[in-house]
Amino acid sequence: LAGIVAKHYAQQQILPRDVVLAHERGEIHYHDLDYSPFFPMFNCMLIDLKGMLTNGFKMGNAEIEPPKSIATATAVTAQIIAQVAS
């Protein structure tokens, strides 16, 4: 019920009318409309990827250092996504 109320409030009070209309017509999809207008992140993006890549982190027993190349950053990001998805 809270999600329904939040979605209605976001459409009436927060989002620009053209965005709401485009969402309703199916021209765009406003992801997590019942959640994201009120918080700085989408529900499915609760990982601070920038912080993890900048500061390093621990995944399982492995200490992951900040990547020094875009290739390594991409590989680490794929590992993070796989870990979160499992």
- In tens, the pLDDT along 36-82 reads 777 765 556 568 889 999 999 998 899 999 999 999 999 999 998 88
Q: E strands along 1-86, which residues?
A: 57-59, 62-64
Q: Mind giving me the DSSP string for 45-66?
A: G-S-HHHHHHH-EEETTEEEPP
- Domain coordinates of the chain in residue numbers? 2-42, 47-85
Q: How far apart are CA 15 and CA 21, in angstroms?
A: 10
Q: The pTM is what?
A: 0.49
